[in-house]
Amino acid sequence: MTPFDTTTEPPPLAASGHSLSYAPDQVVLIAAQTLDSILKYYRPLAGNVRAKAECLRLADGKGPAAVQKALATLSAEWADYAIASVYAILMSHARRKSLGAYFTPPHLVDHLLRRMGKLGMDIAHHKMRDPAAGGAAFLVPLARRMVVEWRNDGISERGIVTLLRRRLLGTEIDRGLADIANALLRRMLIRECGFRPSIVKDLEIVRRANALVRRTLPESTDHEVGNPPYRRLSIEEHKAMHMRFGDIASGRLNLYAMFMRRAVAEVPAGGLVGHVVPASFLGGPEFSAFRRRLLELAEVLVVDLVDQRSGVFVDATQDACFVVLRRRDKEVKDEECWASSGTLHTNGHFVAAADMHLTADGSAWHLPGPEAQFTATLEDWGYRASVGYLVPFRQATRIHDRPAKGRVPLIWAKAVGQDGSFDHSRGVSSKRAGWVSVPPDAPYVVRDPCVVVQRTSSRDQRRRVVAAAVPDAFMRQHGGLVGENHVLLLVRSRPDAPPPAALAQALNNPLVSQAMNRVCRSASIPICAIKGLRLPPPKSF
């Protein structure tokens, strides 16, 4: 049986043309299902099929009949996205990871172009650039819209091709992807717009180059748009790039932050930079210098979230957001700003939210939400936070399966239940160990009433922040505890602080988890994020 259901065919999806309106309910979902069926056909062929040659065949209307039949049910944008995605899954895993070859689905492209259009990007008259063009997810839709505008102005086919060469610029580090991007552009002009093949046969707007290497990008642009690759640099790569990008480095550099920094330096004053990037930069401590530097160089006009982390990008689970910047005419210091914000949902619908306040000191940027009435912090509650001391694989000889003199309970993340309960034995049974040897005066032993918070979250749990108070009786019985490094320990910093049970109840409020998601989208909760998290005031408990 083929992965294509030939008995019930999904309805054809109308091409959006130059319209920036959002897809109706179900259209995105049906397109995604069809895409999945195409990729299921190719996944077993990875390593046995030449990726570039196969995708060029698909772009030319050739290839397996079942695949062509499925492609014919998709809109033009989704068919292009499917062909590029086939290339990605046919390349080796290592190559794909190093390139960050995870392409932008059409409803995300539409949203970003719509946002940028309302902020001044003029499709007909401005020059646009995508420095990591991939499968031309942005460049072909831009060209499609340009053709409509220019044809309405009476420009000939040859004139349009000349304008495309001047106004639409792209680079791509992978030769195969660059060739596929150009083939998809020519395919659009011939099949959708009726251009004569002879006029477009030599048209190439994407050239092979590394956009992070100086003097490899086309000379000028009005705006930049795209989905730069996401990958944390190795230590060696970080050292090599630190001289150029050190002003945004609070920790190890990431490719997407480097692309954004370069873009802001190279668009003209007033030029827009619109990128789809991981949402981790909004609150991650390693991006504090990046956030501060961005506000010095540009106004942050838009920060919109993608509502789901899974099922958006092919083969990737990623919290993502849209960011639109406008380059300042001169650098500023300590200037806060407000950005428009909202959420793009799986079905393509966008829900606007309140404007987002961005501080200039490098602290986390808090997306607005229903917990806006929360004003208290952990410090206001009278608590301090620390990461669990013990790293099990490094100190395995100190861990035991039973109590004894000189040992205290070791608290695993499993001891904290989703319902807010604390159960030391739950962690013990999960890890087959629950006691740790400690010197009598060990400073890392917690001996005061405290709250334990799971430091890392799974993708499917109901709440991001899961906390439990350690019962007083447990502390009296054992005289103290040690946390392993997948928990956070919140301990009273003043004697009049509310009891741990009250703080745990506040942390387990679903709105607090939503707030954490908006400030930190990585799987691990940084200690600075829990310190800065907005909580219900203590007096309400």
Structural tokens at position 187 = 């395919």
Contact 483/489 with Cβ under 8 angstroms?
yes
Torsion, Cα of 73, 75, 76, 78 (10° steps): -90
Structural tokens at position 215 = 């003097």
| Exposure on the CB side of residue 91, measured as CA atoms within 13 A | 20
Within 8 A by CB and 6+ apart from 442, the residues are 482
Contact 537/508 with Cβ under 8 angstroms?
no
Residue closest to 179 by CA, chosen among 208, 201, 199:
208
Give domain 373-540's CATH number out of 3.30.230.70, 3.40.50.620, 3.90.220.10, 3.40.800.20: 3.90.220.10
Helices of type H across 119-272: 139-152, 157-167, 175-187, 197-200, 235-245, 255-266
- Distance from C-alpha of 233 to C-alpha of 303, rounded to nearest angstrom: 25
pTM of the model: 0.77
- Distance from C-alpha of 285 to C-alpha of 290, rounded to nearest angstrom: 10
N-terminal to C-terminal alpha carbon distance within the chain: 60
Strands 337-344 and 298-306: parallel
Residue 384, judged by CB atoms within 10 A of its CB (0-12, 13-18, 19+), counts as: middle
Tokens 């229903």 map to which residue?
Answer: 370
Residue closest to 383 by CA, chosen among 494, 504, 470:
494
Strands 399-400 and 467-469: unpaired
Helix 139-152 and helix 76-90: axis angle, to 10°? 150
Intrachain domains 27-370 and 373-540 with the same fold: no
pLDDT digits (tens), the chain, 541 positions: 333 433 333 333 333 333 334 444 577 888 989 999 999 999 999 888 899 999 999 999 999 999 999 999 999 999 999 999 999 999 887 787 777 777 899 999 999 999 999 999 999 999 999 999 988 999 999 999 999 999 999 999 999 999 999 999 999 999 999 999 999 999 999 999 999 999 999 999 999 999 888 665 556 899 999 999 988 899 999 999 999 999 999 988 999 999 999 999 999 999 999 999 988 888 877 899 999 999 999 999 999 999 877 778 877 777 889 999 999 999 999 888 899 999 998 878 899 988 888 999 988 887 776 666 788 999 999 999 999 999 988 989 999 999 999 999 999 999 999 999 999 999 888 788 899 999 988 999 999 989 999 998 765 577 889 999 999 999 999 999 999 999 999 999 999 999 999 999 999 999 898 888 767 766 788 888 898 888 999 976 6
Which DSSP helix (H) or strand (E) runs through 399? strand 399-400
Within 8 A by CB and 6+ apart from 310, the residues are 317, 459
Domain segments of the chain as ranges: 27-370, 373-540
Third-level CATH fold of 27-370: Rossmann fold (3.40.50)
